[in-house]
Amino acid sequence: MSPPSYCPHCGCIPNLYKHSKKEQLFMDLPMHRKRVGILVLRQRYKCRDCNRTFWELLADMDEKRAATKRLVKHIEKDSLRKTFVSISEDVGVDEKTIRNIFRDYINRLEETVRFETPKWLGLDEIHIIKPRCVITNIEERTLINLLPNRNKESVINYLYHLPNKERIQYVTMDMWQPYRDAVRTVLPKATIIIDKFHVVRMANQALETIRKDLRANLSTKERRGD
Ligand SMILES: [Zn+2]
C-alpha cells in the first residue's frame, strides 16, 4: 500500500506521520463456495498541517460495505435474481447490507434507463388485488408501466404526460371501452387495434348466447329432433 499523496481533510501535499495501525476485515468473492474475508492491517496517518487523522486509501475496497469492490459488483448482479438471504449466506455479508447494495444499484439503474415512448403501444390488464392497466411496448415486448387502476381518467392522465407521445402510431388493446376513449382523447391520430384474442373470445361468447337463446325457444320435440 502506497502512502496517500495528499491529506483528504485540508488537501495539502502530505506532511504526515504514521499514527496507528488497525486490522480491518473486508469480505471478498467466495472461492469454491467458501466465504473469503481479507484482513487488512491498515495504517492510520496524521496530518501535521491540520492535525487530523485518516486511514490509508484502499483502492479495491468499498469502505461503506466493508467488502471488496468486486464483491459489491457481484452482489449487485445476484440481487436481481436471488433472495437477499441466500446471497448473504453465500458471501458472508449481512442481509441488511445486501438490501442496501441492491437499493443503491436500482437507483443507479433507474437514472440511466429511460423508457422510450414506443411507436406501437399496448394497453392490457392485469389483476393485482384489483384490475390495473398495463402499458407495454409491443415491438420490444417490454413492460413500460403499471397503473394503479384501469379507469379512463388514469389512462388519460398517463398518456397525456408521456414524452414524445406523437411517436405512437398504433395502440393495441382489449375491448375495454375506457381504454378506447382515453386513446381517442389523447392520441386521436393513433390507430386502435383490438387484440385478436379478445375479438375471438367475444365472438365465441356471442355465439354461445345466441345458441342458448335459440335452444331455450325450441319445443321439447324440436330439441329432440336434431
Ligand atoms: Zn491535513
User: Reading across the β-sheet that carries 16-31, which strands appear in turn?
Assistant: 53-55, 34-47, 16-31, 67-68, 61-62
Q: What is the gyration radius of the CA atoms in the chain, in angstroms?
A: 31
Distance 3 CA to ligand 1 centre (A): 14
Average pLDDT over residues 134-144: 87
CATH for 188: 3.30.420.10
Please, which pLDDT band fits residue 225 given cuts at 50, 70 and 90?
low
Distance 67 CA to ligand 1 centre (A): 27
Q: Are residues 27 and 97 in the same domain?
A: yes
Q: Are residues 127 and 76 in the same domain?
A: no
Residue 89 has pLDDT above 90, yes or no: yes
Average pLDDT over residues 79-96: 95
Q: Are residues 87 and 128 in the same domain?
A: no
129 Rama sector, left if φ>0, alpha if ψ -120 to 50, beta otherwise: left
Distance 96 CA to ligand 1 centre (A): 34
Residue 201 has pLDDT above 80, yes or no: no
**Does residue 103 sit within a domain?**
yes
**Does residue 160 sit within a domain?**
yes
Distance 50 CA to ligand 1 centre (A): 4
Q: Are residues 107 and 125 in the same domain?
A: no
Question: Residue 174: helix, strand or coil by DSSP?
Answer: coil
Distance 26 CA to ligand 1 centre (A): 27
Residue 2 has pLDDT above 70, yes or no: no
Q: Are 143 and 134 in contact (CB under 8 A)?
A: yes
Q: Are 69 and 29 in contact (CB under 8 A)?
A: no
pLDDT attached to residue 1: 57
**Does residue 215 sit within a domain?**
no
Distance 17 CA to ligand 1 centre (A): 11
pLDDT attached to residue 226: 52
Residue 53's domain comprises 16-112
Taking the CA atoms of residue 175, residue 179, residue 182 and residue 184 in that order, the dihedral angle to the nearest 10 degrees is -30
Distance 54 CA to ligand 1 centre (A): 9
**Does residue 200 sit within a domain?**
no
Q: Are residues 32 and 107 in the same domain?
A: yes
Distance 5 CA to ligand 1 centre (A): 11
